[in-house]
């Protein structure tokens, strides 16, 4: 399994344009151009992705829409991919709102007519959102880990760092162990250990399915964006 992790494009909050504060900000004009260029770059690589997942926050949904068009993949909206802290006391976009603005997406049952966010303020703590990263990764591995699937995730900066740390078997270490620029791309591969001779052997548990080597192939790649679009 190959996992591409992409941070959303620049939002109005990233650009300090939220006045008054918007709990679920959209992309800026620059952010939309970042997302469009990212989608084109991924299409031109011919990576052969079989699934596209996205956070249900507006800036991630808007970013994923460009990938949907370029890659012909219907986004699967996964609440566990939302930013650390979620939406605080806000419930987020409801089911009908998402389907109206982004037709063709697949919604999990947790996205209801009342919204999708129920975590409150406590999710700002690493002790809460790191287990959420573990939960998201377990779901993705259950769906795609038995195959050589390539999947794409559109998520957020802080949660992306936590997710990548979790993939690599690392515990909490603040938000910035693996910082992401807007539309920065990271890739991690799950490979049979026997195919990765230089990797240290995993601890044996008597089960062949545990003999997996996880490799960080690259992190925060932004070469597909001109300098004027890097934020």
Ramachandran category for residue 119: left, alpha or beta (phi over 0 → left; psi -120 to 50 → alpha) = alpha
User: Phi then psi for 202, rounded to 5 degrees?
Assistant: -70, 160
pLDDT of 210 strictly over 80: no
pLDDT tens, position by position, 36-58: 999 999 999 999 999 999 999 99
What CA–CA distances, in Å, run from 161 to 93, 107, 109, 170?
Answer: 24, 24, 26, 11
**CATH code for position 220:** 3.40.50.1240
pLDDT band at 154 (very low <50, low <70, confident <90, very high): very high
pLDDT tens, position by position, 190-209: 987 666 666 566 555 455 55
pLDDT at position 17: 86
Omega cis (within 30) before 20: yes
pLDDT tens, position by position, 119-133: 888 899 999 999 999
pLDDT at position 195: 67
pLDDT at position 91: 95
Work out how many domains the chain is built from and give that number.
1
Q: Which domain does 88 fall in, by range?
A: 2-229
pLDDT band at 114 (very low <50, low <70, confident <90, very high): very high
Instruction: Tell me how far apart the alpha carbons of residues 50 and 160 are, in angstroms, rounded to a whole number.
Output: 20
Give the contacts of 179 (CB within 8 A, at least 6 positions apart).
157, 161, 220
Would you say the pTM of this structure is higher than 0.75?
A: yes
pLDDT band at 13 (very low <50, low <70, confident <90, very high): very high
Going by C-alpha positions, the residue among 148, 157, 140, 223 that lies closest to residue 192 is 148
Say how far residue 188 (Cα) sits from the centre of its chain: 12
């Amino acid at each position: 399994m190959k996992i591409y992790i992409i941070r959303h494009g620049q939002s109005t909050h990233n650009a300090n344009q939220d006045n008054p504060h918007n709990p679920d900000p959209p992309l800026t004009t620059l952010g939309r151009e970042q997302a469009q260029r990212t989608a084109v770059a991924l299409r031109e690589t011919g990576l052969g992705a079989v699934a596209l997942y996205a956070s249900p926050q507006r800036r991630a949904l808007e970013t994923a829409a460009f990938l949907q068009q370029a890659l012909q993949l219907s986004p699967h909206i996964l609440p566990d991919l939302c930013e650390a802290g979620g939406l605080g006391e806000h419930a987020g976009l409801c089911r009908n709102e998402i389907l109206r603005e982004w037709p063709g997406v697949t919604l999990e049952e947790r996205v209801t007519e009342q919204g999708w966010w129920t975590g409150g303020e406590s999710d700002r703590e690493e002790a809460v959102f790191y287990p959420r990263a573990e939960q998201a990764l377990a779901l993705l591995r259950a769906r795609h880990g038995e195959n050589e699937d390539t999947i794409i995730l559109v998520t957020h900066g802080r949660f992306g760092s936590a997710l990548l740390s979790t993939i690599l078997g690392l515990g909490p270490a603040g938000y910035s162990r693996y910082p992401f620029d807007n539309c920065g791309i990271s890739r991690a591969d799950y490979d049979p250990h026997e195919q990765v001779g230089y990797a240290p052997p995993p601890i044996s548990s008597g089960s062949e399915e545990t003999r997996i080597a996880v490799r960080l192939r690259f992190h925060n790649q932004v070469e597909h964006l001109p300098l004027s679009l890097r934020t």
